[in-house]
Amino acid sequence: MSKENQKQVRESRAPYAATAEAAVEEHISYTVEDILTTLGYPDPLAAARQQARMILLGRLAHYQVAIQQLEARWGCTLEQARTRYTAQGSENFAADDDYLQWQWYADAIEMVNAQLAAISESWDYASVI
């Protein structure tokens, strides 16, 4: 690149560089409220609710996939596995462990659904106020 072209490039960038330098020199400070408002959440509690909802939906998806894998592995539903677990006279440690894990995932799904419902209800209540 010739010296003349370099000079033209520098001159065309000058307004942007000056703006960036001024912003750094002014030490613009942001508050949490400012940032949340620019992200579309004027209420910090609404942002927290949305974040909690996203975390819970991620957990729910994880637990549902784990249950699907156990169903595919054993070729039955949780209720059928429960029947086998309680009716067997001999022990099958792998099946027993998977059944207990399966039951835990089912309980966790119920808990997450209840938490999602609570967040939705509080969100509806907050929007009415």
Tens digits of per-residue pLDDT, 16-72? Answer: 555 555 555 667 888 888 888 888 888 888 899 999 999 999 999 999 999 999 999
How wide is the angle at C-alpha 42 spanned by C-alphas 39 and 43, nearest 5°?
120
**Per-residue tokens: 65:** 């996939």
67-84 burial, b at 16+ Cβ within 10 Å, e below that, comes to beebeeebeeebeebeee
Average pLDDT estimate for 70-88: 91
Which strand (E) or helix (H) includes residue 1?
none
Contact yes or no for 41/50 (Cβ under 8 A): yes
pLDDT greater than 50 at residue 129: no
